Chains A and B, each alone.
Chain A
């Protein structure tokens, strides 16, 4: 029975494989165009189409599409205003880009691209790769740290010294604060990566059951339907969590507690 199953669905982890479609050596660096690259381009194309298409009429009273475009704008704008304050306006485009990129990457992975299996394409979630989520988290972490140091100079390091604590405790507390600060990019990256990977692996596992069980596969099929709903929620929620944590870190750097 396993012979009838397309090759890439044999292992639940096969969906995370990277296929080099066009080899591009960039100096000593491998910059090959892969299925991951394709999905990143699809994501930015979809975001741009969604937003520019929605705003094509500039209507005073928005239609459905324009409402959604404006809703995503105001959602992120409110998030930045509430968590960072007015100083956050400068960083709003970055947070917005971050949120939309993660949201669309997560959601695109849920679309049934597996139907295009015959032409060698399968669904792929850009954010299910630790290197991608870590790169995004690192940009946030480094950017926030640089912003904090530029704004506060040496006073920035007072962030690691808790206020109103006896001096005796300092040798213990400062390393803890420092460690929790340094752990931020790791937790930020791991949270998104783990959520995406776990969800997609589970979907693939149950998908394998549906095929393997034949008519009894209706049971895991129902589970997949339910899981799909959960995954949609997770896709949106994780984009939100990533963006709001970026806002909070930014706020910490700007205001120092």
Chain B
């Protein structure tokens, strides 16, 4: 086995030391810090991006909550306006119908008064007409016209008798 020949030991040890020390220095001073920096920078970047995403999410949630709040406020305001309008309309309608009722009642009363007056006139005229007819009939029957006062008295008596009979 060539590996067990002590003559080749020293040169291998010398060159192993040289190359290992060079490699160690290059790795420790140049290569490893470089790789470590890149990996660390990437981790920082990822952490930073995650933080930014989280804060953006919070912001979006706040905005959404505000939007919903203002939407609810608008809704209730609209409802209030509607309710008020309905109330106003109802009260207006009530007032108008009261006024109308009053006017109608007044007209009804006027008309009733007019009817009553007309009826009274008719009744008053009826007494005169009845007296005329009674006098003319009497004149035809007996040939003599009775005095106005006698007719009026007889009519009044007959009217009272009629009214009494009607009552019974």
Q: Mark B42-60, 1 if CB is under 8 A from A, else 0.
A: 1001000000000000000
B42 and A60 form a contact (CB under 8 A): yes
A60 and B45 form a contact (CB under 8 A): yes
Instruction: Given contact pairs A93-B28, A93-B32, A131-B9, enumerate 20 new A-B contacts (beta carbons under 8 Å).
Output: A14-B2, A17-B2, A18-B12, A24-B11, A26-B14, A30-B7, A31-B11, A34-B15, A36-B11, A44-B19, A55-B38, A58-B37, A60-B41, A74-B39, A92-B32, A94-B24, A97-B23, A101-B23, A130-B4, A136-B16
A34 and B32 form a contact (CB under 8 A): no
Interface residues of B (CB under 8 A from A): 1-5, 7-20, 22-24, 26-28, 30-32, 34-39, 41-42, 45
Partner of B3, one of A16, A30, A40, A58: A16
A97 and B3 form a contact (CB under 8 A): no
Interface residues of A in 87-114 (CB under 8 A from B): 92-94, 96-97, 100-101
Question: A interface, how many residues as a size bin?
Answer: 35 or more
B42 neighbours in A (Cβ, 8 Å):
60
What's the nearest-Cβ distance from chain B to residue A201, in Å?
10
B35 and A51 form a contact (CB under 8 A): yes
What's the nearest-Cβ distance from chain B to residue A115, in Å?
22
Q: A37-B15, A96-B32, A131-B3 are in contact. Are A58 and B24 (CB under 8 A)?
A: no
Q: A18-B8, A73-B36 are in contact. Are A51 and B31 (CB under 8 A)?
A: yes
A69 and B41 form a contact (CB under 8 A): no
Partner of B1, one of A13, A29, A69, A74: A13
Q: Which residue of A lies closest to B6 (CB)?
A: A131
Interface status of A43 (Cβ within 8 A of chain B): yes
B23 neighbours in A (Cβ, 8 Å):
43-44, 47-48, 97, 100-101
B8 and A34 form a contact (CB under 8 A): yes
Give Cα A13–Cα B24 distance, bound, in whole angstroms.
Answer: 31
Give Cα A74–Cα B23 distance, bound, in whole angstroms.
Answer: 18
Give Cα A60–Cα B49 distance, bound, in whole angstroms.
Answer: 13
A135 and B13 form a contact (CB under 8 A): yes
Partner of B31, one of A16, A37, A48: A48
